[in-house]
Amino acid sequence: MSLTEEQQEKLAKAQELLQYRFNDETVLLAALTHPSATEGKSIKFSYERLEFLGDSILGAIVANKAFHEYPDLNEGGLTRIKVSLVAGTSLSKVAESLGFADIIVFGSSETGTGKRGLHSALENVYEAITAALYLDGGLDAAQAFVERTLIPHMTHEMAEMPENPKSALQEKLQEDGVTPTYKLVETQGPPHDRTFVAQVFAGQQALGKGTGRTKKEAESQAAKSTLERLSEFFGFGLSAEEKAEKEAASRAAKQERAAAKAEEKARRTAEKEAAKQAKKSN
């Protein structure tokens, strides 16, 4: 198969970034190819099929690493670590930091759009490359890549993150009588490769944003990012003593605010009463 100059350049750049030389470059080219680049062509070779395989391989590698790295954790904690690490937001951030945005082959339909679907493309290409490495060099090649690029982001604290970020955020905000709401603020990419951006609000106050392949995933990521930003109040990753201290400080702060409001209300009531008495005297 004859390759364009762009394909040749991106294949060379990809192998440099991956620190791996492919025996079969066609499998790598497929992993780098956005579906938009196959439009109107008789032979379809994009990252979609490889993404399916890579998702399973990636999950197995991460699960195996977490299992041996954290012998103190139960199934729930290990699951939370895996889910957090292989989430779309996590993969796209890692892929972006590796420079994958420069090696994806996009089609003409994406030209001039600013590559609106880049977030999901980065995630998909990471999974597809994992599969390509597995097919070309076996499990060792795929595992070496994942352990070098993704596993360093694994932390024990991930085991304490809530499995359902939306429920956890709602529970926290409702302590102050606030119910979070979600709004779809942006839709990126072509119809066959949609990426949704959602934002969570507490009343009129905008909180975190999240991105996902579905509206539900985008909302979940928005809730998760909000929880992470506010983790100092929620106590993720803290010891029992530290959590108790923060909870006590939070209660004390609420009591102080309540006392200040009560004092202000009493002052205003007294001023109104004094004004009434002054009018009667006149």
Instruction: Give 160 or 254, the one with higher predicted confidence.
Output: 160
* CATH number reported for the structural domain that contains residue 44 in this entry: 1.10.1520.10
CB distance 195 to 187 below 8 Å: yes
CB atoms within 10 A of CB 166: 20
Per-residue model confidence (pLDDT) at position 84: 85
Looking at the structure, tell me whether residues 146 and 230 fall in a common domain.
Answer: no
Looking at the structure, tell me whether residues 17 and 119 fall in a common domain.
Answer: yes
List the Cα angle 73/76/81 in 5-degree steps: 75
Distance spanning both ends of the chain, measured CA to CA: 101
Q: Which residues pair with 211 in a beta bridge?
A: 197
Determine the structural domain holding residue 219 and report its residue range: 165-234
Q: What is the mean pLDDT of residues 213-235?
A: 77
Looking at the structure, tell me whether residues 140 and 169 fall in a common domain.
Answer: no
Reply yes or no on whether the pLDDT at 261 is more than 80: no
Looking at the structure, tell me whether residues 89 and 134 fall in a common domain.
Answer: yes
Looking at the structure, tell me whether residues 176 and 281 fall in a common domain.
Answer: no
Dmax (CA) of the chain: 101
Distance CA 143, CA 133 (A): 9
Looking at the chain, the whole-number percentage of residues with pLDDT higher than 70 is 82
Per-residue model confidence (pLDDT) at position 31: 94
Of 96, 127, 157, which closes a domain?
157
Q: Which residues pair with 196 in a beta bridge?
A: 187, 212
Distance CA 156, CA 103 (A): 32
Looking at the structure, tell me whether residues 145 and 282 fall in a common domain.
Answer: no
Looking at the structure, tell me whether residues 146 and 174 fall in a common domain.
Answer: no
pLDDT, tens only, 92-119: 899 999 999 999 988 876 554 455 567 7
Distance CA 135, CA 123 (A): 19
CB distance 193 to 34 below 8 Å: yes
Of 157, 180, 215, which closes a domain?
157
Q: Which of 123, 119, 212, 120 is nearest to 165 (CA)?
A: 212
Give the catalytic positions in this structure: 55, 127
Looking at the structure, tell me whether residues 212 and 149 fall in a common domain.
Answer: no
Least confident of 61-65, 254-258, 259-263: 254-258
Distance CA 222, CA 20 (A): 35
